[in-house]
Amino acid sequence: MKYLLLLSTILCTLYSSAQAPTETYPDDPASLEQSGVPKGEVLKFTFENSKIFPGTWREYWVYVPAQYRPGQPTCVYVNQDGIQWKAPVVFDNLIHKKEMPVTIGVFVMPGKVRTANPDAALDRFNRSFEYDGLGDAYARFILEELLPEVEKQKTSDGRAIRLSQNGNDRAIGGSSSGAVCAFTAAWERPDAFSRVFSTIGTYVGLRGADRYPTLVRKYDPKPLRVFLQDGANDLNIYGGDWWMANQSLERSLTFAGYDVKHVWGEGGHNGKHGTALFPEAMRWLWKDWPKPIQAGTSKNQTLTDILIPGEDWQLVGEGYTFTEGPAANAKGEMVFQDIPNAKTYKIGSDGKPVAMPLDSKKATGTSYGPDGRRYTVSMTTKQLLAYDAADAEKALASDLVGNDLTVANNGNVYVTSPDGRENPSKLILIRPSGEKVVVDEGLKFANGLTLSPDQTQLYVTESATHWVWAFQIQPDGTLAHRQRYGYLHVPDTEENAWSDGLKCDRDGRIYVTSRIGIQILDQAGRVQAILPVPKSSRQTSNVAFGGPNSDILYVTAGDKVFRRKLKVRGAQTWDKPMKPATPRL
């Protein structure tokens, strides 16, 4: 019995030691105050006028290095949870030795909403809401509110504080939820933050950051450099396993071609290892500055198969009210609609859009037919209209409340007819004879639709959810075997993907516009890649393949239209059906 008790004591001691080892790390010389090194100034302020996080107040500190000169654009490092890592001392030493550029540090606390009765109630603590949540709210808070507020301040000797607006000159970092917050800000705005320091990051199931390892693998890579730290004894609790989650993120970043460095240890959920590594992390994050950080090459086979290296989005036109209905004819000539202004634009041989001399009657969806005519659905007249080569108009069906349409090679026209976001929608078949047939009812805001390359399947987006539906087309044009088919990614800030227009390429991939960009599905309905459009544009509304070889992808996005040349060719519905390759299941 004494032996068992002794053994139990030894095992408990070993287990306790394994779970919480003593953490000691050597001091990097840059973490220690050095004689002869000019010392920067640390200023303290409060901020309580946020419109993005209304009602909050917070403290923040600004480190201004001794070498700062107001006339020069100055690099910026933003840290969550205030001053950590002995950062002012580290910055003093690294800037002095020219191991990082002259950098102003902004160290900000999470917001609190003050209670009206402090004697009886607590403040509302906003940390998890601001830090753990996905989306661009916190990035906008930093960029639109906090950094402009910093530039209103002055140093103790009256110098104005001027921060670089170049994302290549800006880094952001944090610990735990603050690390997720930093990564999210850079992920959402790589144009504003290009360097990320992340220690013991909470990439787990708190407010959605557990999705990052998947999203990183699917997105067109972004120009980011990321330093990761975690320890084998980090938390393993209700939200997930921190240690495994950080490793998973690192593997995803490496897979996706990011410039990423990691240092793993045995430590727990604390800042000891991060503090020891901070100088090393800053040296690495700022290496080669001011050379811009470039996006890497992903191992995602879908991205490899469709994207041309060096080809990016090009702006076709801007300044419209709301663009929709891109479509290409047999020559590859592209048109699109500006719905509120009742204008149809044709993209000329010089790549510039020109307004066509006609009233589009607020046309929404657009599709060319096998007869060469351009088909539209009019919001004004509630008709299906067709235009010949001379733009002579003919009404093919009336009393039609339609949104989008697609015209099959056999002349059948399919139209989505949504009735608000909550009421059931209809799918309508209009045969070449003009006969209208309701072929489906019940989807929540049926929006875009297109045909598979072999024209045996009809794909329909359900904007009020995250689904793309599939229907089998019967010999008489009716639909059967309705199925939830494509599972789309939804942004953290919304309850639906708001998928809209969609098209297929000749290999059977489905390109779906959504709140987060173009989600590319395989024939089995799985999102394999995501192409965001430039951040200055609004949500994507529709997409189409154009150009003489149908290898230029056009996308309408709010007041803008973009194009991007791809390796693949689009499957045009007016063309003869073609059988794509068998999908990998």
Q: What percent of the chain has pLDDT over 70?
A: 96
Asked if the 40-285 domain carries CATH number 3.40.50.980, the reply is: no
Check: pTM over 0.85? Answer yes or no.
yes
pLDDT tens digit sequence for 64-109: 999 999 888 899 999 999 999 999 999 999 999 999 999 999 999 9
Residue 7 has pLDDT above 60, yes or no: no
The pLDDT of residue 264 is 98
pLDDT classification of 537: cutoffs 50, 70, 90: low
The pLDDT of residue 20 is 61
Q: What is the mean pLDDT of residues 359-371?
A: 96
Looking at residue 234, the DSSP 8-state letter turns out to be: S
Do the domains 301-565 and 40-285 match in fold?
no
Q: Write down the domain spans for the chain.
A: 40-285, 301-565
Residue 219 has pLDDT above 90, yes or no: yes
pLDDT classification of 15: cutoffs 50, 70, 90: very low
User: Taking the C-alpha atoms of 416, 419, 420 and 423 in order, what is their torsion angle to the nearest 10 degrees?
Assistant: -110
Supply the mean pLDDT for the chain.
Answer: 94
CATH number of 301-565: 2.120.10.30
pLDDT classification of 18: cutoffs 50, 70, 90: very low
Residue 1 has pLDDT above 90, yes or no: no
Residue 538 has pLDDT above 70, yes or no: yes
Q: What is the mean pLDDT of residues 154-166?
A: 96
pLDDT tens digit sequence for 98-148: 999 999 999 999 999 988 888 888 989 999 999 999 999 999 999 999 999
Residues 90/117, Cβ–Cβ less than 8 Å: no
Three-state DSSP state, 60: strand
Three-state DSSP state, 49: coil
pLDDT tens digit sequence for 243-265: 999 999 999 999 999 999 999 99
Torsion angles phi and psi, residue 179, rounded to 5: -70, -45
| Cα-based distances in Å from 405 to 120, 233, 343, 352, 430 | 60, 56, 18, 25, 10
| Cα-based distances in Å from 146 to 45, 107, 155, 187, 422 | 11, 11, 17, 19, 39
